[in-house]
Amino acid sequence: MEHWSIRKPAIETAGGIVVSQHAIAAQTGARVLEEGGNAIDAAIAAGFALGVVEPWMSGIGGCGFMTVFLAETQQCHAVEFGVRSSAAVAVEDYPLARGFDSDLFAWPGVLDHRNVLGPYSVAVPGYVAGVALALEKFGTWDWHALVKPAIDLAESGFSADWYSSLKIASSAGDLKRFESSASVYLPNGDVPMGQWASAPPTVRIRGLAKTLRKLASEGPDAFYRGTLAKDFLSDCAAVGIKILPEDLKTYRARDYQIRGFSYRDAVVFTPAGLCGGPTLERALSSLASYPREACSGPDGAYYCALGASLDHAYAHRLRHLGHSPDGSASASTTHLNVTDRHGNVVSLTQTLLSIFGSKLMLPDTGILMNNGMMWFDPEPGKPNSLLPGKEPLSNMCPVIVRMPSGEICALGASGGRRIVSSVMQLISFLVDQGMSIEAAMHQPRIDVSGSGQLLADSALDSSVKEELQKRFSDFSTAQHGVFPSLFSCPSIASFDPHSRRSIGSAFVTSPLAAAVPEQPHAVVR
């Protein structure tokens, strides 16, 4: 057991704020706000930047979900841009093997883990289509201007500090299998690491800057139907990825208005598609059945109610939406929240699925590809079984909450199967416990995500852990560390329409996550 604790203060500012798992991406979004862009513009610019400075988590080879609150109409909208299986997918290419797969889900094992690793694991990416649709519907800036910061970052490369080196090292064994990936992330066969008392080395992703320049100049449609699509398809074919021109031409992101649902005196808005949103609604609905008095303080009874509500929600999820009993592995997902001075608010989750996705980077375009086929159950006849041209179930859960006070909160998390547990508890901390954003982010959490196990943060009071152990037969504790993150990696941003001020709080134990205001006179709360 380690004996340490980390505090990360929330940031309050007049106007807007960007909260991201990487400070450079947050700074990119904040500059867009300062130059007159709205929250949607800033989120898109920050998202593209994340794909460069945190490439193992997301990028244009991935997908995402976005929730948008518009101040002018006081309405919420969802933008869905998940992955799709190619029309070329053949179920017989994924023969079942002994055991279970090696990543986020405990589906039956597949030969050579080909649904998790390498060319057979890749699905049609939706990221470019999704952010382009969000810009068209809700943004104000030019497409080129929002991609340009990512181009500059790609040309200069990212710094392989100790945290980045740790991320690369965690996947080095798989990255070595693919020459294009190893040449970038494992130069000379080794994890890039700085020498004692020297600056960390710089990692440049070959081809990515060129790809982003073409994407910026030719527009998002070029990725699916233009010259960039030809480059992409040629690159895919060179490494054995079966994506067809028709897969790109027919891909469409979706947007729709969200009605939201009530939780106590708050209103919660989350996408309703194949994501974590329906499970979150079921978990909060179950928790709402407990009288408010039962949730009056963060004691053992309260945490038992949280655990029981999450267990109920995941039992339904696994029966009707999928059949995955295990959520123990880490994921490659990132989340950001944005508010602007007008009161627009964005919650955006984007992902490659596993860390480094398929582990396969396209050799010419420099695009690191997702492993979206992992989200399908390879066993036929199940609610989420693998089929051609199909969208799989995901765990992403970007949320916006209208608080009883009128504040608009954006929150979400990365962390695979642990996302819903984390987001549900944060909402309850804010609504039921009346915690400040900073206090909610530091409050210890539990995880119940369909494995049959309740995992509790060892920082919880001993009386709480004793109550949980009595209530749940499969109970264990763990310390919430920097890596891996056993209780997900959440963040929150909130806008107060009365004071016109924003508050942001980033994932506490990450050395890179930060809340960055659009103006320099922010104050620490």
Q: What does the alpha-carbon distance between residue 39 and residue 41 come to, in Å, rounded to a whole number? A: 5
- Residue 297's DSSP bridge partners are none
Q: What does the alpha-carbon distance between residue 358 and residue 370 come to, in Å, rounded to a whole number? A: 5
Residue 333 known to be catalytic: yes
Q: Which two structure tokens, joined as six digits, stand for 201?
A: 């080395």
> In terms of C-beta density within 10 A (0-12 exposed, 13-18 middle, 19 or more buried), how is residue 445 classed?
buried
Q: What does the alpha-carbon distance between residue 136 and residue 151 come to, in Å, rounded to a whole number? A: 21
Q: What does the alpha-carbon distance between residue 444 and residue 460 come to, in Å, rounded to a whole number? A: 6
Q: What does the alpha-carbon distance between residue 222 and residue 110 come to, in Å, rounded to a whole number? A: 34
Q: Which of 211, 270, 279, 333 is catalytic?
A: 333
> In terms of C-beta density within 10 A (0-12 exposed, 13-18 middle, 19 or more buried), how is residue 195 classed?
exposed
Q: What does the alpha-carbon distance between residue 15 and residue 345 come to, in Å, rounded to a whole number? A: 12
How far from 8 is each of 28, 504, 525, CA to CA, in Å? 21, 11, 10
Contacts for 69 with CB less than 8 Å, ≥ 6 apart: 75, 76, 269, 343, 344, 345, 346, 400, 408, 410
How crowded is the C-beta side of 251, counted as CA atoms within 13 Å? Answer: 32
Closest CA to 410 of 297, 351, 491: 491
List of E strands, 216-366 = 254-258, 261-263, 266-269, 332-339, 345-353
Q: What does the alpha-carbon distance between residue 302 and residue 422 come to, in Å, rounded to a whole number? A: 15
> In terms of C-beta density within 10 A (0-12 exposed, 13-18 middle, 19 or more buried), how is residue 210 classed?
middle
Contacts for 146 with CB less than 8 Å, ≥ 6 apart: 32, 41, 44, 45, 48, 135, 139
Mode of pairing for the β-strands spanning 408-414 and 399-402: antiparallel
* Residue 489 phi, psi (nearest 5): -125, 85
Contacts for 282 with CB less than 8 Å, ≥ 6 apart: 312, 313, 316, 317
Please give, one letter per residue, the 3-state secondary structure of 108-167.
EEEHHHCCCCCHHHCCECCHHHHHHHHHHHHCCCCHHHHHHHHHHHHHHCEECCHHHHHH
> In terms of C-beta density within 10 A (0-12 exposed, 13-18 middle, 19 or more buried), how is residue 463 classed?
exposed
Q: Which amino acid is at 318?
A: L
How far from 335 is each of 18, 22, 260, 419, 449, CA to CA, in Å? 11, 10, 21, 10, 19
Q: Which residues are catalytic?
A: 333
